Structure 1
Amino acid sequence: MMPVRILRLAAGGDGIGKLPDGRTVFVPRTAPGDLVELQAVREHKRFARARPGRLLEPGADRVEPRCPHYVRDQCGGCQLQHLAPDAQREARRGFAGDAIRRLARRDIPDPSIVPSTRVYDYRTKITLAVDPGGRRIGLHPHDRPDQVFDLQWCHITVPELMELWQVARGLRPLFPPRLQQVILRLDRAGARHLVFRVSGAEEAWSDAARLHSELERRGALATIWWQPEPGAARAMAGAGEAYPATVFEQVHPEMGDVVREFAVEALAPAAGSHVWDLYAGIGETTALLVGAGAVVESVESDRRAVAEAEARGPAARRHTGRVEDVLGELKSPDGVITNPPRTGMDERVAAALEQRGPARVVYVSCDPATLARDLARVPGYRLTAVRCFDLFPQTAHVETVAVLERAS
């Protein structure tokens, strides 16, 4: 087993070392400065991948992971628990800067990063997988999406949800048949939701009320949802006014608020200016823009999210559909905030920004690679500012906000 010194981290969190023949080798769960023996080396023409073996010398920023699952089960939910928080943030800054320099060809330093106030206990939503036999419910080991280990406690998820899971996991006989996923979610009002996604809809679930009663008896109040695939989620027990528990909302709400406020301040819409809010979700950015005096047109594909935005207000012109499909219905904007999913914007959206020419675009991204790809698609804009936000401590993910101004 050959020893390799880890030089730095790659996007995704793997350590980077060099084999004796000069090829790069990617090794998960390693830290810069580690001297580690390699196992299960998979060689390719220009690079290799390996699993870490015995740690011969730890790097200066290596720490003991807090979560037992991270080591014992090789949990794939986190990638960087073995790194000190400051070193994690430096790595995430580097992931964003490197992607923008390489893929967008924009010459920038690594962006600054706004730290999270909490590095554990922050996620307000967790999605658990179910193994084919239904024996284990939990998360996937790193690089083994076909396997599931039984989750006891996720340390990056808020305790309110893990306390619910401690009770619920003991009531598995009451879970619905053909179970595919279990979602636990804490909403903004502090209410807990337990969503069961199942395959098919032929057989109704008769134990929802009993499950709710047993949870309540044990002090674990939650609204129970049942979602056949395909189909919409239905509140089965515990709901007064049903919150749309399956619509997208930032899993780290506190930091999500910080990101939205920064994005609106960066756009700086003048009173009465016309602004697009693309991929608008439940309308939180729209509300800030209206509060700043803008006239807003928003676009969101999820009808339940649009309905929630309408219920919350304020008034705006809201379009339901994919952004690329409704562009022709939108009035030309003075400014744009776009917050696409991890896959980034459809190329037709980038083309529309080039054609319509708003003075400023603020792009909120959860994937530096797709952000960089989309920046390359809008050559008519100068990149005037980039900032990272630490929404996902213990992982290799980073939220990045890019500010673009129309080139003269």
Structure 2
Amino acid sequence: MQCPHFDAGECRSCPLMGVPYPRQLADKQAGVRALLDPVLGTRAPDGTDLWLEPVASAESAFRNKAKMVVTGTAAHPRLGILDPRQHPRHHDGTGVDLRDCGLYEPALAAAFPPLAEAITAAGLTPYDVGSRTGELKHVIVTVSPEGGLMVRFVLRSTEQLPALRRALPGLLEALPRAEVVTANVLPEHQALLEGEEEIHLAGEQTLAMRLNGIPLHLRPQGFFQTNTAVASALYAEASAWLDTTDAESAWDLYCGVGGFGFQLAEVRHGSGPRPAGAPRTVWGLETAADAVAAARATARELGVEDRVRFAVGDATDPAHRPEGLPDAVVVNPPRRGLGPGLADWLEGSGVPHVLYSSCNATTLAKDLARMPGYAPVRARLLDMFPQTGHYEVLVQLGRRP
């Protein structure tokens, strides 16, 4: 993939732009193995290579979310980023229009022109970083696997909210797949994407992100993996790996909206000790109350709320974990990893099976070094972020005899 904005120095969000994709993938695999092989070794229990082949992504048109800085004028808005060629402290607010960015899914790219027209129709004044004037800071758009859109306008205040409401009918006519429309209020002059206040304007309260048959409900300020196809592969892989065990219960720590938890809620492959369709009990824990509310909505929709439950809490705090132990634990922590407390708890817990999904092999290696009681079963790199050095790694661990 090649990008004119990268070539012109206008955007540096994709540092690997222009590097042949097979080389990107091979370099990521080599870098991750350099960090993890000294901890995990290189062989699976059956003597084969511990590492499966990497899961590749499409090189372009894979991002399901666009976080666009709005610059220019209400009559001629630019959706993209602030010009990175200027010094942050002396930035005049000039923006680079990235509506033609090749990373976005086609439905996102198709939404940008109607959004620009709505900004003009509402007379929304783009926020000027240099003078700290104007109202509209960002437009954030997410597309579901089925083409539904969540549209969020990030405003400095509610001053132009009435004008935005008046422009909504035209926007909804131009974007009939806009299923959730909100305004977010970010009054501070800070390098933040969004504020705490979210105002519902039209449509549903959540966007259904259906992955592998599971309708995950995304709320406006919720987190979701930005590469739908690779996220689907990640959750399916975790399910297939756990299905090789006899696990009847699982904890999903850092559960978010339940991406892993719902995939593990039943045996999906009958090649292991338990038959396909056999149920599991799942308990998920997440600090974000909105994400837990969304996960509970999915459980109700699927009719499994009696055995798939979610709670608000900190996975690193022992007080937030229930009594007893599951047969398996899946963890998907932020970049900082589990940390000594949770890693040491897992090591001493006696839980038979662990699935660890990580976006940072450095902290993953540190955590695994604290868990010598677990032997690696298999590992895989999934390229969630082509054109960058980022990735996701999934590791299956089993308790040593």
TM-score range, shorter chain: 0.7 to 0.9
Tell me the CA shift for residue 169 of structure 1: 2.7
Tell me the CA shift for residue 251 of structure 1: 1.2
The 10-residue stretch of structure 1 (116-125 or 172-181) with the greater mean CA deviation from structure 2: 172-181
Distance 2:71 2:339 in 1: 34
Q: Please state if 1:306 is matched with 2:280.
A: no
Alignment partner of 2:198 out of 225, 233, 249: 233
Q: List per-residue Cα deviations over 1:286-343 (Å, max 9, x = no partner).
A: 2222222222111112222211211111321311122113544353222111112233
Tell me the CA shift for residue 133 of structure 1: 10
Instruction: Say whether the 8 Å CA contact 2:250–2:282 is kept in structure 1.
Output: yes
- Secondary structure in structure 2 of the residue aligned to 1:255: helix
Alignment partner of 1:182 out of 139, 143, 151: 139
Change in 2 beyond 3 A, CA 1:166/1:131: closer
Q: Which amino acid aligns with 1:90?
A: A
Change in 2 beyond 3 A, CA 1:203/1:271: farther
Partner residue in 2 for 1:54: none
Q: List per-residue Cα deviations over 1:346-394 (Å, max 9, x = no partner).
A: 4322122112121121101122222222222323222332111122222
Q: Please state if 1:84 is matched with 2:40.
A: no
RMSD (Å) for aligned C-alpha atoms: 3.0
The 10-residue stretch of structure 1 (295-304 or 227-236) with the greater mean CA deviation from structure 2: 227-236
Q: Please state if 1:121 is matched with 2:61.
A: yes
Where relative contact order (Cα < 8 A, 6+ residues apart) is larger, the structure is: 2
Q: Which amino acid aligns with 2:97?
A: D
Partner residue in 2 for 1:31: none
Q: Please state if 1:163 is matched with 2:110.
A: yes
Tell me the CA shift for residue 247 of structure 1: 1.1
Change in 2 beyond 3 A, CA 1:120/1:330: farther
Instruction: Say whether the 8 Å CA contact 1:235–1:242 is kept in structure 2.
Output: no
Partner residue in 2 for 1:282: 257
Distance 1:259 1:219 in 2: 31
Q: TM-score, normalised by structure 2?
A: 0.75
Change in 2 beyond 3 A, CA 1:99/1:123: same
- Secondary structure in structure 1 of the residue aligned to 2:111: helix
Q: Which amino acid aligns with 2:265?
A: V
Aligned length: 340
Q: List per-residue Cα deviations over 1:10-67 (Å, max 9, x = no partner).
A: xxxxxxxxxxxxxxxxxxxxxxxxxxxxxxxxxxxxxxxxxxxxxxxxxxxxxxx432
- Secondary structure in structure 2 of the residue aligned to 1:310: helix
- Secondary structure in structure 2 of the residue aligned to 1:256: helix
Tell me the CA shift for residue 160 of structure 1: 0.8
Q: Aligned runs of 1:9-408 on 2, under 5 Å?
A: 65-101=1-37, 105-108=39-42, 111-116=51-56, 118-130=58-70, 137-139=79-81, 146=88, 148-173=95-120, 174=122, 175=124, 178-199=135-156, 203=159, 205-219=161-175, 221-222=177-178, 223-229=180-186, 230-237=195-202, 239-240=203-204, 242-243=206-207, 244-268=219-243, 273-292=248-267, 293-313=279-299, 314-315=304-305, 316-325=308-317, 326-408=319-401
The 10-residue stretch of structure 1 (247-256 or 175-184) with the greater mean CA deviation from structure 2: 175-184
Tell me the CA shift for residue 210 of structure 1: 2.9
- Secondary structure in structure 1 of the residue aligned to 2:265: helix
Unaligned segments of structure 1, at least 5 residues: 1-64
Q: List per-residue Cα deviations over 1:260-309 (Å, max 9, x = no partner).
A: 11112223376672311111121232222222222211111222221121
Partner residue in 2 for 1:7: none
Change in 2 beyond 3 A, CA 1:217/1:362: closer
Instruction: Say whether the 8 Å CA contact 2:147–2:177 is kept in structure 1.
Output: no
Instruction: Say whether the 8 Å CA contact 2:10–2:85 is kept in structure 1.
Output: no
Distance 1:196 1:220 in 2: 17
Tell me the CA shift for residue 240 of structure 1: 3.9
Change in 2 beyond 3 A, CA 1:107/1:188: same
Change in 2 beyond 3 A, CA 1:271/1:98: closer
- Secondary structure in structure 2 of the residue aligned to 1:164: helix
Instruction: Say whether the 8 Å CA contact 2:283–2:309 is kept in structure 1.
Output: yes
Instruction: Say whether the 8 Å CA contact 1:75–1:140 is kept in structure 2.
Output: no
Q: TM-score, normalised by structure 1?
A: 0.74
Distance 1:151 1:80 in 2: 18
Distance 1:348 1:224 in 2: 40
Q: List per-residue Cα deviations over 1:215-258 (Å, max 9, x = no partner).
A: 24545652321122442423213x14543233111211222111
Q: Which amino acid aligns with 1:236?
A: L
